[in-house]
A and B are shown apart, each in its own frame.
Chain A
């Protein structure tokens, strides 16, 4: 047995233990503090960059990092003597529990604010984990309305939730159909059911459309990922509806629309609500025929705002697709940075307070000046787009429209 390097007596043991306990207690009492040493503010970005949501998560991360890069290049947070934002990256691996665990790391790293986490399921977990430490958390994409209805003071959503999106989708469809002389009456809704948004949207659409004279022939849910839509296409063929309303993630949306095309199913219109691919430039470029005349009620930027056009050009120059994930995460980071300016502090509580009372209007989304109630931006709303040729045009509401809707679509 080797000798101890020094002799441990009962007294020295007690002294060492007491000193250690005191130090640990002091450390715990102080807790992790937002790190802004050397004029740097740590900024947490949590997204699912691996797993089945990896494409969307990567797009979000790109948008958020671009915003941080631009803020730093423009002189950082001026109210904090030009403090720069330092991104702390987390990967939720497309799983809610992993997302929540990453927030623990963010807290240890001392982040001042968090932006994330793309999906509703992950965002519900990350906002709750962040609430334990009072870290302000801006949800970039997650549309589940439960995210902002749990009374969490740290949680904010700059974009719209699915209640607002579905309502806008229903009203938009009723208006477009009425303006064309009501050519569409029967509807089939196809939605993904792995996350709550699809089922909720389908029920809300049904409730909204039936009083307006539409007949919902069937609601067809499917899991994500899904490798085959032949059965759904056959069912639709048998029902022969005027309208198909799909709502899924990107891959499934592409496969579904291509299957409809392969099966020669040509309804009067395809009107997506959060269609995944239906308003994505990449889809229009790759499958222009399948995408033609597809309408989508989804997150979209103010098409007249030059800042949006500049970000699109920059994104495409970087070899990325300018998708809703990019501009929503980009705007969420800008919103958080603006709150830091307003707070004049990197303190979590001060930033939270500044977010709650924000009136920020310097963005390119069609939301107007920010007004947060219970963490939800009241002006946030989707736009209705349609693929026309190689362009994605805004067709409703009228105050943002860049082209009239082509409805029903030409045979």
Chain B
């Protein structure tokens, strides 16, 4: 079969379905990385270039907890997620907030600078060697017939769903969640009703960082970490945020899954290199036809 001069191969339905299912699990990983980003990028309008570096840093923490204390990477989430929150809070309060003076362009440069510092510090302290966490259940899983799904993949999807639900509940049901939404919609108004905007900014950055740290725990059994690790996912995570709608957790989840499945099917039919253009194609189409994203409209009102 030929389309636009490109030879399209024919596969059995098992292979196509297997590819789509693996896309769902890959999409869950994208969504995991995008959840923290959508909070910071969407709600607070901070383009956080340090997101990938923070993911990498959290992966190292998970690795060291496993290597030195023998802690299972999923158990390590109980340490790295609160640790990520504190780190993110202090980073926003002590560095980004302090040097940006509320100007978006300075925030952008500040996060870029932080990412360079974190990446080079990791290279200096941890070396360029890839570090892998080995878990005994690495190969155990469920045979779906069309593909074999291992427990780390199931954990990533389950974790992604739970974190999305928890974030949604937090934003909808808690005072802090309401305050974050208030700051996102009308910063000055929020200040006038007595909300400490700087504190809310830092809390949001902290939650975003905690999310990416939780994602690191879920990625550790599958991927080796190295100082450049963040780049593998963070650019796609930006696309996921735009597709889902800035600030929407449900959007990030669905966006991640859509991108994951589209990418896998694109790679199956167009090849591993050319297939990646499907992500760029989605990005351009969203910007053209629905710039607010799938779930962005409600939040922009």
Inter-chain contact B15/A52, CB cutoff 8 Å:
no
Q: Indicate which residue in A51, A220, A263 contacts B147 across the interface (CB closer than 8 Å).
A: A263
Cβ–Cβ contact B18 & A234, under 8 A: yes
Check A238/B226 contact, CB under 8 A, given A222-B273, A231-B22, A231-B264. Answer: no
Among the 9-residue stretches B93-101, B128-136, B191-199, the one with 4 or more Cβ atoms under 8 Å from chain A is B128-136
A218 to B, closest residue via Cβ = B9
A234 touching B22, Cβ below 8 Å: yes
- B168 part of interface (Cβ distance < 8 Å): no
Binary interface profile of B, 247-282, with partner A (CB < 8 Å = 1, else 0)? 000000000000000001001100111011000000
Whether B113 sits at the interface, judged by CB under 8 Å, is no
* Alpha-carbon distance A277/B14, docked complex (angstroms): 30
Interface-forming stretch among B72-80, B227-235, B238-246? Answer: B227-235
Residues of B within 8 A of A258 (CB): 138
Interface residues of A in 210-237 (CB under 8 A from B): 220-223, 225-228, 230-232, 234-235, 237
With the chains together, A263 CA to B79 CA distance in Å?
Answer: 32
Which B residues are in CB contact (< 8 Å) with A50? 120, 123, 128
Task: Using CB atoms, name the residue of chain B closest to A238.
Answer: B15
1/0 contact string of B45-67 vs chain A (CB within 8 Å):
00000000000000000000000
Inter-chain contact B228/A262, CB cutoff 8 Å: no
Indicate which residue in B120, B129, B223, B272 contacts A221 across the interface (CB closer than 8 Å).
B272
Chain A residues within an 8 Å CB radius of B139: 261-262, 289
Q: Within 8 Å CB of A54, what residues of B?
A: 123, 128, 226-228
In the bound complex, what is the Cα–Cα distance between A264 and B150 (angstroms)? 11
A250 within 8 A of B: yes
Q: Which of B1-42 contact A (CB under 8 A)?
A: 11-12, 14-15, 18-19, 22, 26
- Determine the chain A residues whose CB is within 8 A of the CB of B22 once the complex forms: 228, 230-231, 234
Per-residue CB contact flags for chain A residues 272-311 toward chain B (1 = under 8 Å, else 0) read 0000000000100011010000000000000000000000
Given contacts A54-B123, A263-B148, A287-B134, contact A226 B128 (CB under 8 A): no
State the CA gap A291–B99 with chains docked (Å).
Answer: 50
Those of A231-283 within 8 Å (CB) of chain B: 231-232, 234-235, 237-238, 250-251, 254-255, 258, 261-264, 282
Sorting the interface of chain B by its residue count into under 10, 10 to 19, 20 to 34 or 35 or more gives 35 or more
Tell me, yes or no, whether B141 is within 8 Å of chain A by CB. yes
Select from chain B the residue with minimum beta-carbon distance to A193: B273
In the complex with contacts A238-B15, A262-B148, A226-B272 CB distance below 8 A: yes
Residues of A in contact, count (CB < 8 Å): 38
Find out whether the CB atom of B147 lies under 8 angstroms from the CB atom of A230: yes
Chain A residue at minimum C-beta to C-beta distance from B140: A262
Is A254 a contact of B224 with CB atoms below 8 Å? yes
Given A51-B228, A221-B272, A223-B272: A262 in contact with B141 (beta carbons within 8 A): yes
Closest CB in chain A relative to B40 CB, distance in Å: 23
- Which residues of A (141-185) have their CB < 8 Å from a CB of B? none
Contacts of A289 in B (CB 8 A): 139
Q: Does any Cβ of B come within 8 Å of A130's Cβ?
A: no
Contact at B268–A231, with CB atoms within 8 Å? yes
Instruction: Assess the B148–A238 pair: CB atoms within 8 A.
Output: no
Which residue of B has the minimal Cβ distance to A321? B129
Contact partner of A238 (CB less than 8 A), chosen from B11, B271, B273, is B11
Determine whether A134 belongs to the interface, using a CB cutoff of 8 Å to chain B.
no
Residue contact B12 to A52, C-beta cutoff 8 Å:
no
Which residues of the partner chain B approach A250 to less than 8 Å between Cβ atoms? 130
A262 contacts across to B, CB distance below 8 A: 138-139, 141, 148, 150
**B127 contacts chain A at the CB level, 8 A cutoff:** yes
Asked if B226 contacts A251 (CB within 8 A), the reply is yes
A225 touches B232 (CB 8 A): yes
Give B17 Cβ to nearest chain A Cβ, in Å. 9
Q: With A54-B227, A262-B148, A263-B147 as given contacts, are A231 and B132 in contact (CB-CB < 8 Å)?
A: no
- Residues in chain A near residue B272, CB distance under 8 A: 220-223, 226, 231-232
Residue of A nearest to B132 (CB): A286
> Do the beta carbons of A57 and B276 come within 8 Å of each other?
no
Most interface-central of B22, B143, B272, B276 (chain A CB within 10 A)? B272
B259 to chain A, nearest CB (A): 12
* Contact pattern, A 315-326, Cβ under 8 Å of B = 1, otherwise 0: 000000100000
Chain A residue contacts of B129, Cβ below 8 A: 55, 58, 282, 321
Decide: A52 near B223, CB < 8 A? Known: A222-B273, A234-B147.
Answer: no
Instruction: For the complex, give the distance between the alpha carbons of A49 and B128 in Å.
Output: 8
Structural contact, A238 and B14, CB atoms closer than 8 A: yes
Let me know if A231 and B267 touch, CB within 8 A: yes
As a 0/1 sequence over residues 186 to 226 of chain B, the CB contacts with chain A under 8 angstroms (1 = contact) are: 00000000000000000000000000000000000001101
Contact check, A234 vs B15: say whether CB atoms are below 8 A apart.
Answer: yes
Q: How far is the CA of A85 from the CA of B46 in the complex (A)?
A: 50
CB-CB under 8 A for A238 and B12, given A55-B226, A227-B223: yes
Q: Which residues of B are found within 8 Å of A221, using beta-carbon distances?
A: 271-273
Cβ contacts under 8 Å, B14 to chain A: 238
Set of chain A residues within 8 Å of B228, measured between Cβ atoms: 51-52, 54, 225
**Given A230-B22, A237-B18, A258-B138, 13 further pairs, Cβ under 8 A:** A54-B228, A220-B272, A222-B273, A223-B272, A223-B273, A227-B233, A228-B264, A234-B15, A234-B18, A250-B130, A264-B143, A287-B132, A287-B134
B residues whose Cβ falls under 8 Å from a Cβ of A = 11-12, 14-15, 18-19, 22, 26, 120, 123, 127-130, 132, 134, 138-139, 141, 143, 147-148, 150, 223-224, 226-228, 231-233, 264, 267-268, 271-273, 275-276
User: Can you offer 16 A-B residue contacts whose CB atoms are under 8 A?
Assistant: A50-B128, A54-B226, A54-B227, A221-B273, A222-B273, A223-B276, A227-B232, A228-B22, A231-B19, A231-B267, A237-B15, A250-B130, A251-B226, A254-B132, A254-B224, A286-B134
Top 8 A-B pairs, shortest CB-CB distance: A222-B272, A54-B128, A230-B22, A58-B128, A55-B128, A234-B18, A223-B273, A227-B232
